[in-house]
Structures are given as C-alpha cells and as structure tokens.
Amino acid sequence: MSESARDAILGRLDAGARPPEVPDGDFQVMAGRPGTVSERIERFRTAIEAANAEVHATTPAGWPAFLMARLNEWGIDRIAFGRESWAGRQLIGDRGEAANGLVPFEGAIEDFKETLFACDAGLTTTRGAIAETGSLILWSGPDEPRALSLVPPVHVALVRTGSIHATLHEAMTADRWRDGLPTNAVLVSGPSKTADIEQTLVYGVHGPRRLVVILLADVPGGDDGP
C-alpha cells in the first residue's frame, strides 16, 4: 500500500503543471541587530525574563559553588545532571563522585525514569542562546539526555555569554547546524506555559514550572557578574 501511495502522490505532483521556479528570497531581514556582547546579553536577559525565567550571572569557574549555595534557597533537594558533560565533570570536580543532592543520569531512561520523575530539578548546558527571542539552544546527546530539561519541575541551564547569538537565523547559519544536528535539538524560551483556559497565562503545564538561567561570563564585555 505504502509503495503505491507514494508512487500515486509523486506521480500526480510530477504530472501537474509545473509551477514557475521561485528565486531565493532576501534573508537580510533575519539578521536583526548584531550588537556587542553586552547588548546581546542584555537583550537575551530582558526577553527570557519577560517569559518568566530567572536569570543569574557568575563566572565559568565559580558556577558550581554558586549553584550549590543556592539549591537550598531554591527548594531543590535533588538535581539531576549528565555526568559526562563539561558541566557534569566540573560539578563533580576533584571529589570524583557526586555530592549529596546531585543525581547523575545513570543508564538509559527506562532504568532512570523513576529517579528522574522524583528529582526536583535538572541541570543542562546549552549550545548557545538567542538574544532576540530570549531562547536557550539545547543540544541533547549521550552526555546530556533530553529528559533532563523536560521532566523535573525546575530546569537550571548554563549559558556562556560568548555563545549568545543575535537571532535564530544567525545561530543556525554561523554555527552550521545543517552539518550535524543531534537526535533532538530544542529551543527553550521560558518555563512551560499555557493560555488555553480563557487566554489566562499559567506557567508549569507538562514541562518545567521554573526555568533558572545561569550566565557564565566567558568573554570580555559580558562581565556583569553578581
């Protein structure tokens, strides 16, 4: 059935009057305002805060201490993370094993599901971010499974300030996404939300209720730490 359906559909499309070829459009409008690093950081922060995310700033070396010091305040007892990501390795550090409350993603999701559903938070890195729309670019993989940013009620994301692009179009072209997309890439622009009931905005439907962004100032111009 599938073969014949394919042939019939493509046959009809091939047989129909061929539409005139359309030239490529002008993508200039997608460039947005490039801006300096500081400007991009500010625009990213304003946009994602408008979508109800919390933004903090610290240093690339200092974030594990920054995070550990605030878990209590944020009401997080157990935070899941990927052991093999750069953030995971930095978090475990010299200790060689995860501290109390740190829950490394073990094995496949089938074995880790119950643990993950019981965690308060998930920690992920980001491939970058987008200033115009206030979006995180999540690039999942073996080191950082996609459920980490999805299942726990709080998502904590690390963003290097040097990786903030002006627009989505710039991010995908400058970073050459077309040459190698992961199983799942996701843009995240705030905590999960809905307005299905009388257009009243409510946060925390099926995804995380809270999104905490930690900016890591890794380039000059973005040094507006705490």
Neighbours of 127 (CB within 10 A): 17
Shortest Cβ distance from residue 207 to other proteins (Å)?
2
Residues 74-106, buried b or exposed e (16+ Cβ, 10 A)?
Answer: eebebbbbbbebebbeebbeeeeebeeebbbbe
- Give me the least distance between CB of 187 and other proteins, in Å please: 4
Residue whose CB is less far from other proteins, 30 or 68: 30
* Shortest Cβ 225–other proteins spacing (Å): 27
SS3 per-residue string spanning 95-141: HCCCCCCEEECCCCHHHHHHHHHCCCEEEECCCEEECCCCEEEEECE
Beta carbon of residue 28, minimum distance to other proteins (angstroms, whole number) = 8
Task: Considering the complex, state which of residue 29 and residue 69 has its C-beta at the smaller distance from other proteins.
Answer: 29
Taking the least distance from each CB to other proteins, the nearer of 82 and 222 is 82
Identify which of residues 97 and 110 has a Cβ nearer to other proteins in the complex: 110
Q: What is the largest CA-CA distance in the chain?
A: 68
Determine contact, residues 127/137, Cβ cutoff 8 Å: yes
Q: Is 41 left (phi over 0), alpha (psi -120 to 50) or beta?
A: alpha
Tell me the closest approach of the beta carbon of residue 98 to other proteins, in angstroms.
17
Name which of 126 and 167 has its Cβ closer to other proteins: 167
